[in-house]
Amino acid sequence: MASLKRIADATFDYEDAHYVIFGVPFDYTSSFRRGSSRGPIEVRRAYDNLESFDVNYEVDFSELPICDIGDIQVNEDASETVDLVEEVTSIITRDGKIPIMIGGEHSITGGSIRNFKDASMVIIDAHSDFRDSYMGNKHNHACVTHRALDVLGEGRIFSFGTRSTSREEFEDPDYHKVRFVSADEIRKEGIDRSLSKIEGKLRDKVYFSIDMDGIDPSFAPGVGTPEPFGLNDVDVRYLIRTLARKIYGFDVLEFTPDFDNGNTSMLAAKLIQDFIGSRETKKQFF
């Protein structure tokens, strides 16, 4: 492992853990602002400032079976990195544990999703990321939704917060096979109604992927490709809380710490807590 830094509340050994956190410091296909390779270390640093006890969930995270195995070692080859992420996630899921991946750029999700062929996928993202290839690379971060479609097939992917799609993507004959729920649609109808319209189509197992640029730059400015008019942080938390017990794989990525004062990394750290807390709490939110 490349990093010795661990999430503060990850006090359990791998064998005894239920949640396994790992970082993937990879950003070699980034097309605008690079720096997401520093995401894993910065989210762990931000997490140090969070309380272990959360009054909203009435859980103490330091007492929950959480393990952090550090960062996997990556090189500049996107295909090899995606394959490595698939291998690591395969081990974790095979052992009956829930992987929580910290990125890094969104291309790495293409490796994780290969281990969830029986699941639905929920994505938070400003961009449709539906190019079949970009900059000569089918594993570019701009292609992750297309790669997920290759694995899951039609009607299994639901992307929330979309507000940027190229003409090439829009005219792709497979574009309609993914349900893109735009940020405008969510603002008009509300997050609860937007989710209720697709919730019955979700399988009992969900992979949940958060590209931090899906959240409006006013909440998460430190991202690789910021896009105005996005989701608010509370709406994203609503989706996590509502779906938490169906989520068996989780990632948060695409934040570039050099472009803000640390608040994007802090939000990413808190979303990890929200996911675990939502699964472990005995309280009913909705």
- Residue 140 near residue 31 (C-beta atoms within 8 A): yes
For residue 67, what are the β-bridge partners?
20
Residue with tokens 């297309």: 146
Which value, to the nearest 10 degrees, does the dihedral of the CA atoms of residues 250, 254, 257, 258 take? 170
- For residue 92, what are the CA distances in angstroms to 15, 44, 87, 143, 152? 10, 20, 9, 25, 20
Both tokens of 221, joined, read 């400015």
**Contact assessment for residue 99 and residue 20, using Cβ atoms and an 8 Å cutoff:** yes
Query: Is residue 251 a known part of a binding site?
Result: no
Cα angle 224, 40, 96; round to 5: 120
Which amino acid is located at 102 in the chain?
A: I
Is residue 27 annotated as involved in ligand binding?
A: no
- Per the annotation, does 106 bind a ligand? yes
SS3 category, 150: helix
Q: Is 16 annotated as a binding residue?
A: no
Closest to 212 in 3D by CA, of 132, 135, 104, 115: 104
Residues 121, 207 contacting (CB under 8 angstroms)? yes
Cβ distance 95 to 13 under 8 Å? no
Residues pairing with 122 in the sheet: 158, 208
Binding site for Mn(2+), by residue number, is 106, 125, 127, 129, 211, 213
Binding site, by residue number, is 106, 125, 127, 129, 211, 213
